[in-house]
A and B are shown apart, each in its own frame.
Chain A
Amino acid sequence: MFVAWRELWFARGRFGLMGGVVVLITVLVGLLSGLTAGLGARNTSAVAGLPADHLVFAADAGFADSVLGADVAQAWARVPGVRSATPVRISMTRAQVDGRSVGVAVFAVPDGSPLAPVRLRQGVAVVSSGVGGRSTLSIGADSYQAVPTSTEDYYSHAPVVWVTLPADAPATVLALSTSDIDLVAADRSLGTHTVELGDSLAEIGSFAAENGSLQLMRGFLFAISALVVGAFFTVWTIQRGADVAVLKALGASTPYLLRDALGQALVLLAIGAVVGTAIALGLGALVGSAVPFVLDLPTVALPGAVIVVLGLLGAALSIRRITSVDPLTALGSTR
């Protein structure tokens, strides 16, 4: 990269502008990624955090419309390979918490179930930190002693309240803990459909729509970054076509020239991505208390890495222009 380094410095204005664009795109994608993860957690963390490996739904139903009778739960508990099948009833409602009305997601599980963050008993409501209750909580005509926890369980953008599920009451899903089980056969015989815990998140209607929109935006930003970097390096390569011809005439091999060109792109992208990621982390820390934002390095840094890879692919578009430069043009003025 003898020539590439010196060109980076010599044309620092042009490369600085392009680097600025990479920084801005990285910031945008980093913030969007943190926000996507944050909003996703607000939708799914209570389900994703369940100590189970599969969820059982009624056939052709999702979280919104699945109803499973107590007999189904008992039948699943008897299926070979099922260590536990715990019914969970999920409902959205409003609760009165310390005199305030709060929208909550109620997760009702059997008395003493290990699914709740702390052991439940009759008349007690375990509330996640988003609810903010400290003494009493009432849902409809039922009053509970509130047990606050530091867990950040959310479902469909509402903080979760854990209460007991009356015996023989219908459930929304069954949380399964399994080993070596034929799920297809069990579903067929019991009239249910079972999915892995991670895949079950797509059954939350608001999550699928919201996440899809945000991922689409991220995808467009990634595509834009690849195209912008590709366009820049194509124009840059055209501008330095005469220099490439001279280097070829002097004996530069094609791999040497490609290493130079892609190395230059890698330096620009890496610096832009690192600076952009740092800014995104800083901005994420600033807005983290106001909006749902996941501020961890993998969430914010991964997009930076993707931008570097896609940018390199974009820069690779200019490779053909380098390989096709005729060294004879270096002698061109006298031909």
Chain B
Amino acid sequence: MSLSLNEVTLTYPDGAGRLTALDAVTLEVPAGSLTAVVGPSGSGKSSLLAVAATLVRPDSGEVSIGGTTTAGLSRAALSALRRRAVGIVFQQPNLLPALTAVEQLQVMAHLDGQLTRAARAKALLLLESVGIGELAHRRPHQLSGGQRQRVNIARALMVSPSVLLVDEPTSALDHERGAAIVELLAAHTRAEGIATVLVTHDTSHLASTDALVTLADGAVRSQ
């Protein structure tokens, strides 16, 4: 199970013309591998993530998630694919303020109609695995930035995704905590056979990654 983008092109309206955000990007992320995508602001990193997350349909090219080609899928089918096969770690933790840490994970099971005791046990186990098991019943405002980011990661892992998309997870953290987060992602990627894409502009945490892709002006410059 892997993530593959084949000749993906994405443009946005830009005044009278169109801005090319992704220019025939081809990317293969095998299962169990952590691929870092780097590049300057405006290089297309977030557009690549949005296309891979099925949040945006590309103008052309093909996206395949865990063997499922996304072209032609309805909006509802794309939603179902996201909640069953795609984990997203947002740049900002984007936790729901009304939910405790463990409920942030349980909601993923509820979205899929699988809110069971086993799901709760799995959520607690995941929080343990990211090092905040004792904070399971705290709400976001009772957690530090690093703790919220760990909940964010655990939530993405809750669906046992085949693809994990990580958007600048260290941007709000100091170097030490940032490195710990990347190591945590790498460990889960390998242990659970996930195809992980880590978008970052910070190249100081790339020691744990398996591959590096550099984007510039929407195109892959090196791989």
Point out residues on A near B: beta carbons under 8 Å: 2-3, 6-7, 9-11, 242-243, 246-254, 256, 327-328, 330-331, 333-335
Contacts and interface: CB of A to CB of B under 8 A. Distances in A.
B111 A249 contact: no
Interface string B73-110: 00010011111101010111010111100010011101
A246 B152 CA distance: 11
A11 B120 CA distance: 24
A333 B92 CA distance: 8
Nearest to B55: A328
B99 A331 contact: no
Contact of A331 (B50, B86, B106): B50
Contacts of A10: 97-98, 139
Contacts of B55: 249, 327-328, 331
A18 to B, nearest CB: 16
Contacts of B111: 247, 250-253, 256
Contacts of B94: 242, 246, 330
Contacts of A247: 96, 107, 111
Contacts of B81: 251
B167 interface: yes
A331 B90 contact: yes
B79 A6 contact: no
Interface of B: 45-47, 49-50, 53, 55-56, 76, 79-84, 86, 88, 90-92, 94, 96-99, 103, 106-108, 110-112, 115, 139, 155, 159, 167-168, 199
Nearest to A2: B110
Nearest to A328: B55
A6 B107 CA distance: 11
A3 B99 CA distance: 7
Contacts of B90: 246, 249, 330-331
Contact of B96 (A243, A248, A253): A243
A331 B79 contact: no
Given A251-B82, A330-B88, 8 more contacts: A6-B99, A249-B55, A250-B83, A256-B111, A327-B55, A330-B94, A331-B55, A334-B46
A331 B82 contact: no
Contacts of A246: 90, 94, 96
Contact of B80 (A11, A253, A330, A333): A253
A264 to B, nearest CB: 11
Contacts of A334: 45-46, 91, 167-168, 199
A248 B79 contact: yes
Nearest to A255: B76
B115 A2 contact: yes
A252 B80 CA distance: 8
B99 to A, nearest CB: 6
A243 B106 CA distance: 16
A6 B103 contact: yes
B98 A251 contact: no
Given A248-B79, A251-B79, A6 B50 contact: no
Contacts of B82: 249-251
A6 B98 contact: yes
Nearest to A243: B96
Contacts of A251: 79-84, 86, 108, 111-112, 159
Contacts of B106: 2
Contacts of B139: 10
Contacts of B110: 2
A242 B92 CA distance: 12
Contacts of B107: 2-3, 247, 250
B92 A252 contact: no
Contacts of A9: 98
A315 B53 CA distance: 31
| Most chain A Cβ neighbours within 10 Å, of B56, B96, B99 | B96
